[in-house]
Amino acid sequence: MKRRVFAAFGALVIASILTLAFVLPAEYDLDPLGTGAILGLLGLSGQTTDTSRAILAPMDSKPVRDVRTYSLPPFASVEFKYDLAEGAVMIYEWESTAEVVFDFHAEPTIGGEAATQSFSQGRTSGESGSYIAPFDGIHGWFWENRSLANVTVVVKTNGFMTGGTEYRDNDKIQVQIGE
């Protein structure tokens, strides 16, 4: 009988090691043995035990208001991206005189084009909302006029952007933002 109690205890020990080594890192982002980091299990859960996303986040810089206006002839497109640091907030409002195809996406500085993520896309004549940059990089819109008439797109933003770049007809133009 003692052997079986010993077996049960052994099972408990093995289970605890496996739980600490694999299950906690994968499911709860906890890594008491450091195995999660070594094996790359952290982040699997998609949870962030990161409490640095504060409810109130004072910034070192002042917020910038910016307005951009683009005239798009039929089937023309333009891309405009702001530079934003991770956690920086931007309130946006864009409107177009007719429906356009748009895609709001962001490209991280670390990771580049391959790690681009799109957060909003579709076909509409405007959208407004708030954005919290998930990483350092460039964040902004692609607009395309798919109609046979000229369309004007106006985008107004207020936030902690530090710069802007226009991408038009294979040109990349850095612009001054702010009023």
Partner 1 sequence: MSRRGRITLVGLVVAIVAVPVLAHNIGEGNAAFVQSLTGPALAAFTYLGAKHMVTGIDHILFLVGVVFYLHRLKDVVLYATLFTIGHSTTLLAGVLAEWSMNAYIVDAIIGLSVVYKAYENIGGFENWRWSPDPRAAVLVFGLCHGMGLATKLQELTLSADGLLVNLASFNVGVELGQVIALFAVVAILAWWRRQESFERSAYGLNFTLMVLGFILAEYQLAGYFLSTNGTA
Q: Contact positions toward partner 1, by CB under 8 A?
A: 1, 4-5, 7-8, 10-12, 14-16, 18-19, 23-24, 27-28, 30
Nearer to partner 1, 27 or 86 (CB): 27
Nearer to partner 1, 12 or 59 (CB): 12
Shortest Å distance, C-beta 18 to partner 1: 6
Nearer to partner 1, 18 or 173 (CB): 18
CA–CA distance, 79 with 70 (Å, rounded to integer): 10
Token digits of residue 99: 């429906």
3-state secondary structure 29-82: CCCCCCHHHHHCCCCCCCCCCCCCCCCCCCCCCCCEEEEEEEEECCCCEEEEEE
Shortest Å distance, C-beta 14 to partner 1: 5
Identify the burial level of 45 via C-beta atoms within 10 angstroms of its C-beta, where 0-12 means exposed, 13-18 middle and 19 or more buried. middle
Shortest Å distance, C-beta 7 to partner 1: 6
Shortest Å distance, C-beta 53 to partner 1: 18
